[in-house]
Structure 1
Amino acid sequence: MANFRFIAPPLPHYIVGGEDTYEIGQVHPNRSSISVFDMVIVTKGALFFQEEDRQWSVKPGEALILHPDRRHFAYHPCTATTHFYWIHFQSTGEWTEVSEIVPDMNKRTKQLYQRIEEFPIHLPRFCSFTSPASAYEKLKTLLQLEGNPSTDSKWRQQAVFQSLLFDMNEKQKQQASPIERLAEAVETYLRQNYRNRVCYDDFRNRLHFHPTYITRCMKQIYGCTPLEYLTRYRVEQSKLLLVNTDMSIYTIAQEVGFSTSTYYIRCFVKIETVTPKHYRQRFRNIKAAASKEVVHPE
């Protein structure tokens, strides 16, 4: 099941949209590398798209997102009067095309300390809306706002667009495999309970699956066991406390769920290659150096 995976922030942003009607025999233009995502939502009739060796027949209530860097064209003319909406959108952040929902395990470390937590958004390349009427209303609102250049309208336009993407993301989750859904449930449980003692019996009692099966699902989707995920998440949370508080290493270890500070330090070094103390000091040195910089007016 192909989908686009965006790392947010930043969120994908709306650029421009419109609507069109094709009569019998008309075809969608042949386009190549338009540098933006092209989303098409059909309300009546059908459109027939091909992108490289893949073909889609998009019918009422269905949406297709075309790759921004590939050629797409109609492999068949319209066989009935066809009405559709189109949206061009883009993201200035990281994105890729993947074959399954893979939650984000690896934090990007371009900065020593990143205050905003990044998260993945999965949008299906092709899907049907659970409530087409609701989707059509949002599309109409987007186009109504198109003619208003005010800041408020532009802001509202992005909000409506995000709501449309959220609906598509929810549809993607409904289409996820049982393995993906179970792995996501384990992830949610771990993030909610990382401060507490967690063991495999908790998974059995909470999720009603054998721990061996749960571990196999986590390895397939996340590439690690539940407890390996938990350790990494605890370390990520501890980094926030290291750079944002004056808590002792011992207190931080307890705060994020480690049994002892010694074990916490060992896990931290394994993941970050430095001790928590050195990580904290490195951040403070950078912060102190930045505060000494003086900007001289010209």
Structure 2
Amino acid sequence: MIDLNYFDLTQPVHYLNSGKFTAQPGWRHAPNRHNNTEIMIGLAGTIFLRIDQQPVTLKAGQVLCLAPQTQIDGDRPCERTAQFLWFHFTSQTMPNIVSKAATTPKIIILPRFFQLKDPTRSLLAGQQLLDRGHR
């Protein structure tokens, strides 16, 4: 399982689509494998996922960043209503070369899974992107 995602910002990042999903009790993520990068931000409740066969739970304030060709599916059904934002984009991804990333300011690194320290600002930016993308 790849734990870090490297993005070269000297190349364009192309927004594809986004949404806000509400999962009702009993919902389970369908098996999927995208040709692009997906970022999921938990808003409420808990989503039970399997990422490349590894169980992952996504809760409010947590972020999941999935590289292209990552297998995602539901691990088990939601127990309560849950919500998350999702964003799909393409970009120039790079192999996991820490030494190059550390010396190149135009490369950003996102962990596969992390907790937001200040969810308010990040969620506001996510909502703005969502609004803009739907215009």
Task: Return the TM-score normalized by structure 2.
Answer: 0.86
Q: Give the counterpart of 2:113 among 109, 118, 126.
A: 126
Structure 1 residue 129: deviation in Å? 0.8
Taking the aligned partners of 1:147 and 1:64, their CA distance within structure 2 comes to 22
Task: Answer 1 or 2: higher relative contact order, Cα 8 Å, separation at least 6.
Answer: 2
Instruction: Show the counterpart of 1:95.
Output: 94
CA distance in 1, matches of 2:118, 2:76: 27
C-alpha separation between the residues in 2 aligned to 1:89 and 1:103?
Answer: 25
SS in 2 for 1:84: strand
**Alpha-carbon offset, residue 130 of structure 1:** 1.0
Q: CA deviation at 1:131?
A: 0.9
Q: Flag structure 1 segments of 5+ consecutive residues without an equivalent.
A: 108-116, 149-298
> What is the number of equivalent residue pairs in this alignment?
133
| 2:127 paired residue among 111, 133, 140 | 140
How far residue 55 of structure 1 moved from its aligned partner, in angstroms, is 2.0
Structure with greater helix share of residues: 1
Of Structure 1 and Structure 2, the greater strand share is in 2
Root mean square deviation, CA, Å: 2.3
Could you list the runs of 4 or more consecutive aligned residues of structure 1 that deviate by over 6 angstroms after TM superposition?
A: none
Say which one has the larger Rg: 1
Q: Paired residue for 2:14? A: 13
SS of match in other structure, 1:130:
coil
Deviation at 1:84, TM superposition (A): 0.7
Q: How many percent identity over aligned positions?
A: 25
Tell whether the 8 Å contact from 1:19 to 1:86 is kept in structure 2 after alignment. Answer: yes
Aligned to 1:38: 38
Separation in 2 of the partners of 1:84 and 1:53? 21
In structure 2, C-alpha distance between the alignment counterparts of 1:126 and 1:60, rounded to whole Å: 13
- The 5-angstrom pairing of residues 239-254 of structure 1 reads none
Structure 2: gaps spanning 5 or more residues: none
